[in-house]
Structure 1
Amino acid sequence: MILVTGGTGLVGAHLLYKLASNNEKIRAIYRSEQKLDVVKTVFSYYTNEIDSLYNRIDWVKADLLNIPDLTVTFKDISQVYHCAALVSFDPNDYVSLKRTNTHGTANIVNLCLSHNVKKLCYISSIATLGESLTDAPINENTFWNPEEDHNVYAITKYGAEMEVWRGTQEGLDAVIVNPGVILGGGIWNQGTGDLFRRVNKGTKYYTNGITGFIAVEDVVNIMTLLMATETKNERYILVSEHWSFKQLLQTIAKHLDVKVPQKQVQPWQAELAWRLDWLRNKLTGKKRVLSKQLAQTINFKSTYSNAKIATLLDYKWTPLEECIKNTSYQFKNKK
């Protein structure tokens, strides 16, 4: 049986459809009944046979930090896809991020070892990779520099990767995927889904920062392909194309049939904005929207090499334009 953590998240929900449609025996962890509808929504993008596929999943309510509950979920499990994570760039969320992303992953690794799980696939992020010191694209060997000013999300995901590597030293077979910014439909109140919502409401501004993007279907397909191979104890960057945030936002606006962002945010404006955001947080207690590190990232130009995974799988990527078009259609027709 296959265990999926984070089954109600973006990657987890699309992964569950892939596994269910392949007639796999699946168990999935969830924390809130309210989020289960996300899975059915995602299934509806692929098929009309929503309930028949959904009912193949053995749902178990559990918390990554509750070891007794987690232990129950590992009965008869042979493979684990660890997709669960907390995503936030607010420095005030560091403790919660560390508990979920780092300590939670440590618990998953320990249970994989104690239950003799054959293989673990951990979904990390390009945020855990170092910065290139040359003009060459960042690759799997561009290592993390602890002296750099990393955001809190990246720090805790890097800690999670260290737990996975620790597990491999103790006998666990594992693969890690480091996706770029993942685009796909189903969750519209956070992540890139929230980006579609914001553009639809009317976004005037863009930045010229560049990063790597990938469709959620590609992430899911590659994860399942890696688990079906004998590949182990390796990590792979998953990036299909590099776009500027300007190109991304304007393409989303085009497919949503709304006004295209026209005003560029200059680096000095982003620097001022994160300071004002910090002050607003201190005065009102409202959640941070723009951290220092995020303000720098949105104007930074980073490129990543997908040569390692391309060589292994000879995979055909989904064009980003096609992904954005499909996701925009899903957004416009959401219930």
Structure 2
Amino acid sequence: MILVTGATGLVGSHLLAQLLQLNKPIRAIYRSQEKVIYVEKLLLSCYPNTASQLERIEWVNATLENIPQLSDTFQGIDEVYHCAGYISYNPSEKEYKKLRKVNIEGTSNMVNLALSHSVKKFCHVSSIATLGSELNKKMVTEVSPRNNEKKYDNYSITKYGAEMEVWRASQEGLNVVIVNPGIIIGEGFWKSGSGLLFSKVKKGLSYYISLITGFVDVKDVTKAMVSLMTSHIKQERFILVGENLSFKVILQQIAKELKCQAPKKPIKSWMISLGWIFQSIGRKLLGTPQEITKLSIKAAFNETFYKTTKIEEAVDLQFTPLEKTIKRVSKYYIDTNN
């Protein structure tokens, strides 16, 4: 039996469609019944062939923090896909504690239970945010060194900590694979993650950031995960990036498919710095949250390129061109928002 955490998120929901093709029983963890209904509708509309298969998914209400409750979900489990995680770039202490609780402590609970229940293989969904860096725009690989003297945002720190828990469990005998996807683009979830890009562009965006980073189709991510889990590969991690592109190009392609105006003005560093100053004043005088940080200002102008040779050589995977992905996802956005 297969266990999936984060099954009501972008990766987890699309992963369910892939797993239903394996003809194995699936147990999916959820917290909100409303989200389960949303995912089932998403599966029916994106993957019509799953209509007769949905009953094979056993939905179980649980949280990563409740160990007795979580332990029950491991009964009879052979494989685990750990997609659950918390994303936040808010630098507050409250948010940092939540990031640690879900990403590090939650992952620790998962691998500990996987070990105690003799799970055969464990797939952990990480992020390119945990990877090291290279000088002079050289492409980042799975073995690029992480600079311990560099300042990282709290999300990166806690996702890296989660990876350390997975590697620790691998040393204790758990067979693991880790995937490090770039920004994932896929159908649904228009109020969070990359889905917000479609919503924001449709409503109208005037500015774009100059960031260049890795993007990937959600279907490529789930295919890679299943391929790795059904292979003999273990104790390895893989970058999942379809293309290295600028946000400007991505937003232009989305605007083209949604038939609306693309943002034309680049955000200047002084604009974000000014926002940081006003937020700093607001935090000190009024106690309002400060979401813009010096780290986020710098990150908005980063240019990072990722190499994907390792995954392409390990499994039979050809990444989908992002233009094709955006065309497909935009059509779904239009169809579901009319």
Give the structure-2-normalised TM-score: 0.95
Residue in 2 that maps onto 1:10: 10
Counterpart of 2:165 in 1: which secondary structure? Answer: helix
Residue in 2 that maps onto 1:188: 190
Counterpart of 1:180 in structure 2: which amino acid? G
Counterpart of 1:42 in structure 2: which amino acid? L
Segments of 5+ residues of structure 2 without an aligned counterpart are none
C-alpha spacing 1:25/1:288, structure 2 compared with 1 (3 Å): farther
Q: Within 5 A, what are the aligned runs for 1:1-335?
A: 1-48=1-48, 51-92=51-92, 93-283=95-285, 287-334=289-336
Distance of 2:274 and 2:36 partners within structure 1: 40
C-alpha spacing 1:280/1:16, structure 2 compared with 1 (3 Å): farther
Distance of 2:284 and 2:53 partners within structure 1: 47
CA contact (8 A) 1:38 1:187 kept: no
Segments of 5+ residues of structure 1 without an aligned counterpart are none
Percent identical among aligned pairs is 46
CA-to-aligned-CA distance 1:293-323 (integer Å, 9 cap, x gap): 2222221100011111112124211110011
CA-to-aligned-CA distance 1:211-252 (integer Å, 9 cap, x gap): 011000000000000001111000011111011111111111
CA contact (8 A) 1:253 1:259 kept: yes
CA-to-aligned-CA distance 1:153-192 (integer Å, 9 cap, x gap): 1010000000000000000000000001101111111101
CA contact (8 A) 1:182 1:213 kept: yes
CA contact (8 A) 1:275 1:292 kept: no
Counterpart of 1:333 in 2: which secondary structure? Answer: helix
Give the structure-1-normalised TM-score: 0.96
Q: Which moved more, 1:287-296 or 1:307-316?
A: 287-296
Q: CA deviation at 1:290?
A: 3.4
Corresponding residue pairs, total: 335
Q: Which moved more, 1:7-16 or 1:195-204?
A: 195-204
Distance of 1:207 and 1:50 partners within structure 2: 38
Distance of 1:129 and 1:275 partners within structure 2: 30
C-alpha spacing 1:295/1:312, structure 2 compared with 1 (3 Å): same
Distance of 2:334 and 2:260 partners within structure 1: 11
Counterpart of 1:213 in 2: which secondary structure? Answer: strand
CA contact (8 A) 1:281 1:287 kept: yes
Counterpart of 1:121 in 2: which secondary structure? Answer: strand
Distance of 1:50 and 1:125 partners within structure 2: 28
Counterpart of 2:174 in structure 1: which amino acid? L
CA contact (8 A) 1:208 1:264 kept: yes
CA contact (8 A) 2:91 2:291 kept: no
- Cα-Cα RMSD: 1.6
CA contact (8 A) 1:41 1:186 kept: no
Counterpart of 1:17 in structure 2: which amino acid? A
